[in-house]
Chain A
Amino acid sequence: MQSASALNGSTGVGDHPPLIEAREVTKQFGGLRAVDGMSISLGRGEMLGLVGPNGAGKTTLFNLLAGSLKPTAGTIRIAGNDLSREGSERRIAHGVGRTFQIPRPFPEMTVLENVLTGGRDQAGEHIWMNFLRPGHVAAQERAAVDKARQLLDFVTLSPLEGEPARVLSGGQRKLLELARILMADPQAILLDEPAAGVNPTLLELIIDRVLELNAQGRSILLIEHNMEMVSRLCGRVVVMAGGRHLTEGPPAEVARNPAVVEAYLGGVA
């Protein structure tokens, strides 16, 4: 099964601005320029792959797009809004959710409680609301629990909802993290190596869920070394090397690009 964007090659841009657009973004760590004038855009409903050899700057770019890092230079727009200097909380509020290569759930909290931490704008977060409108707070909490349970069902973790998260395998932790970010209803989901360290059975499930999220209209940006997975999911792939945009195009095409081969085999300084 392929994604809608893989089948029709659409970038999903249409008349709207891209959901995420980074222009000439640079991130400098001391003497190291991890991301160097990189531009990338994620269209609405698009499933875009981001690949490149080790040390290419992919995860740093992810951190910039998700707001975990602030760029040294360049602009990052989410749905047309310049959020270059805003942190991850503001990006989440604008519909950007991200997963990590190595998920770190709260180990002693239950699986359900972990998912609930992903909820936003809950009245109970404000202490006075608990006294002034306890009924409203309770109703919202019930709705959040219902939604978390639906999401656990979506990622097939319902049977484990009462277990502490520490009992989950690496692949199950990735599914839990996906459910947690879905609590905030992101329109763009940044997935950092969802296949890494996952057994083949769970990997198929993760691929299936990602396809389903894309079919719901959500945009997906995927960092992945598993090129087979990228080819199955993405209609377009961007290649980074040395912190820069090297090339982009359909996965099979870029994988045959001599410059890409050179970058992967150590030819790029």
Chain B
Amino acid sequence: MMASLDQPVALSTRGLVAGYERDLPIVRGVDFAVRTGELVVVLGPNGAGKSTFVKAIAGLVPIHSGAASLGANDITTVPAHQKIRHGLAFVPQTENIFATLSINDNLLLAANILPKEKRSRRVGDLYAMFPDLAARPSLRAGQLSGGQRQMLAVARALIVEPSVLILDEPSAGLSPKIVAEVFAKLKAINATGVTIILVEQNVKAALAIADRAVILVEGVVRHEGPAATLADDPVVAELYLGVRQKAPAA
């Protein structure tokens, strides 16, 4: 779903400074906004602060200054476990499922914050959306392939019908074929109206499904624009490799 500029802002940060230690901020003053229905990818070389940025929004890394808002609500100091109730779901890169529980129990556990009468209906909705999971609900999640695990993690995040879904490198460790399947599913989820913020290392694959991209370098936004434009922009390679790719025109 391509969001238009007149859509309201779904999530934003203003001057966000965050990091594990106060004297060593990883995210150093990021202004960021994603509109309702957009799929925005956060790119940047290793150590740019991409994961720290989204973890800070999700409440998993301390925010030292600045603010984060979900719609009109300030969520800067909202604890991580409460953010889901505000409509913000976060899928970490690893340890995002319970490997010793069945697929069904993973989904039921995620549905636990819903009213009792809604739980089984939402699990059913998710099975309809992820037929691979529906095919063997009693299978232990630890026995799933890497791609299927990511699908289960995404399904768990979607069970509460979030307005914004944040994913931290869902393609990590997956083969290109499986990455394509995961990304196609994310695009389909986005088409249902869910706003998506995607942190990625796989630049080309991510730009292929995103509406817009933001590039972080050393904790600050160094470049941004429509994904279709950035796919051929030499500045992206410059920012990744730290070296000018083309000689300036004489």
Cα A251 to Cα B243 with chains together (Å) = 9
* Contact between chains at B203 and A225 (CB < 8 Å): no
Nearest-CB residue, chain B, relative to A265: B203
Tell whether A226 pairs with B240 under 8 Å between CB atoms, given A266-B202, A269-B176.
Answer: no
The answer, yes or no, to whether A169 is at the interface (CB within 8 Å) is: yes
Which A residues touch B23, using CB under 8 A?
Answer: 169, 199
Contact B245 A53 (CB under 8 A): no
Q: Complex formed: what's the CA distance from A183 to B204 in Å? A: 46
A264 to B205, CA, bound (A): 12
Determine which of B26, B175, B201, B242 lies in contact with A53 in the assembled complex, contact meaning CB atoms within 8 Å.
B201
Q: Is A197 an interface residue, CB under 8 A from the partner?
A: yes
Decide if A266 touches B243 in the complex (CB within 8 Å): no
Stretch at the interface among A68-76, A138-146, A209-217, A255-263: A255-263
Q: Chain B's interface: helix, strand, loop or mixed, by majority?
A: loop
Whether B47 sits at the interface, judged by CB under 8 Å, is yes
- Residue A54 at the B interface, CB < 8 A? yes
- Chain B 168-193, CB within 8 Å of chain A: the 1/0 string? 00001101100000000000000000
- Option from A54, A196, A199, A261 in Cβ contact (under 8 Å) with B241: A261
A264 B237 Cβ-Cβ under 8 A: yes
Residues of B within 8 A of A252 (CB): 243
B212-250: CB near A (< 8 Å → 1, else 0) gives 000000000000000000000000110011110100000
Q: Which residues of A contact B203 (CB under 8 A)?
A: 264-266
B245 touches A261 (CB 8 A): yes
Question: What are the residues of chain A within 8 A of B202 when measuring CB–CB?
Answer: 266
Q: B-facing mask of A73-105, CB < 8 A → 1, else 0? A: 000000000000000000000000000000000
Q: Which residues of B contact A (CB under 8 A)?
A: 21, 23-24, 26, 45-47, 172-173, 175-176, 201-206, 236-237, 240-243, 245
A interface residues with partner B (beta carbon < 8 Å): 53-55, 169-170, 195-197, 199, 225-228, 231, 251-252, 255-256, 260-261, 264-267, 269
